[in-house]
Structure 1
């Protein structure tokens, strides 16, 4: 049975009936952000799980203030913004490394449109533990990639810089087209590369990051998978601080950060961790029931040992 529409005043009454203390700002905040986004998205740490065993509805811990729930909501929004900034940096490095490595191995202006430039089903790199039909996945993924690339080159989406290259030169270099390819597109592009191209991309990333530990082709494939998921999560305003992605929903924020360690330059990693610490300091006094130190530990921030090991 569908839930009935409730006015903001009725929603406030509902919160108060469930132990939440509201104030003069609650109505404006709910009108601005919506009840579903704030309360349904961030209520979990504030719920009285014991009392809920005897209730069909949510019951909040006594003394819970709406402003605490709202502060967790705002914290997560700022966390998404901050995280997106550094994932975008990693994305640029990964995209450029893969495109550069492909073009170095396949210098023809239209080589990326030829299926012969890509790995065979036998050569294609798969995630660890993959047990599906490799030939079928290869055929499907290569066909989809070719469709995307050809549509982009045809200028069906009307991108001016693509039309410029087509009209002036009769082709679009991959390093130009890459600007119109998503992180997900490049992830599929990378997976379909021959191992020599993948290894060269890994070498390029290591030279950019200054890391003493070179990321392997398999690890880079995993990094693409994790970072694409978290980038999309941030871009679509989904809950981040306790998010779990992956097929088994077991990849958490700390795992995402670990994927950036061998990719981002050390100064960017340190800036990321410093800004994360500042963010927690900003909100630690306003979320009350949520313990920032416990949240930090659960999220795996900062990964001091990893950074120290990389520097040595």
Structure 2
């Protein structure tokens, strides 16, 4: 294995030029050094060079016409995309947390979320899942013990109401909480979105994964996951192509799947605003593309060409 050694900015620019990136004059060289200094070689190049690579080359070579400006344009687009998805996932998260705290507290009281029998013990592996959930709630509570709202309720009342606790629980934990609630409570919540409880469970788990990607600054436009979103009527209505196994090729394990999930969880107005922001971001990137095409970007995102039809469905 070749040892990774320190390289100066000039060394890195030389390396990119040797591999085929068009850095043909002083101006483009200065630009390359500035963006590498600002964003880092690993984040910018290793993170966003996939579409620019010559797939027929046995060594790392870039397609003719690759420039640092276009690589950086894709990087900036992904930052905008993360911001859009993160903001609207938070909207859905707030709504779901509010519904969970309401319907759980209505049945069990506002402080009984640590009682094992208040969850669905009939589920497969319920003992380990419920025990793990309770332990995770306790861990997150302890981690945020200095939070003013948490410390106030603990000192004043000796407990934390679920609607207060929701503010510190992660979406991943809330997703697990929902999956372990009693069937009637789950259905009361899912009816608020006009979907089945299993569909809501799948949507929450999916957007939770994407939320984590956004929060940690990971590449989002080419997001993929092993666990697919459950199939929805939108997949058929959009006439998305299927593989030999019958799974839809888009909207199941990619970023478009997250958009489908949010279509079901956001209000109509919020979804339309989100769709408009994504459309504008794609349009802004499109103006900066010379080598790549809009279709290549959309394909990496898992977006079908008719994705905006979702607005009217």
**What band does the TM-score fall into relative to the shorter chain?**
0.7 to 0.9
Q: Does 1:37 align with 2:76?
A: no
CA contact (8 A) 2:103 2:188 kept: yes
Which TM-score applies when normalising by structure 1? 0.85
Runs (4+) off by over 4 Å: 151-156
Change (3 A) 1:247 1:175: same
Aligned residue number for residue 183 of structure 1? 171
Q: How many residues align?
A: 283
Aligned residue number for residue 278 of structure 2? 276
The Cα of 1:187 is off from its aligned counterpart by: 0.8
Of structures 1 and 2, the one scoring higher in RCO (CA 8 A, sep 6+) is 1
CA contact (8 A) 2:120 2:182 kept: yes
- Residue correspondence of structure 1 range 197-208 to structure 2 within 5 A: 197-204=185-192, 206=193
CA contact (8 A) 1:45 1:289 kept: no
Gaps of 5+ in 2: 230-251
The Cα of 1:308 is off from its aligned counterpart by: 1.9
**Alpha carbon RMSD of aligned pairs, Å?**
2.0
- Residue correspondence of structure 1 range 221-300 to structure 2 within 5 A: 221-247=201-227, 251-296=253-298, 298-300=302-304
CA distance in 2, matches of 1:10, 1:104: 64
Aligned residue number for residue 307 of structure 2? 303
CA contact (8 A) 1:273 1:302 kept: no
Gaps of 5+ in 1: 125-133, 207-213
Q: Which residue, 152, 160, 180 being the options, matches 1:164?
A: 152
CA distance in 1, matches of 2:287, 2:84: 20
> What CA deviation, in whole Å up to 9, does each residue of 1:206-257 have, x standing for no partner?
2xxxxxxx11110011001110000001111111111101347961011111
CA contact (8 A) 1:69 1:287 kept: no
Change (3 A) 1:303 1:62: closer
- Residue correspondence of structure 1 range 1-312 to structure 2 within 5 A: 1=1, 2-22=3-23, 23=28, 24-50=30-56, 52=57, 55=58, 57-107=59-109, 109-120=110-121, 122=122, 124=123, 134-135=124-125, 138-152=126-140, 157-204=145-192, 206=193, 214-247=194-227, 251-296=253-298, 298-300=302-304, 303-309=307-313
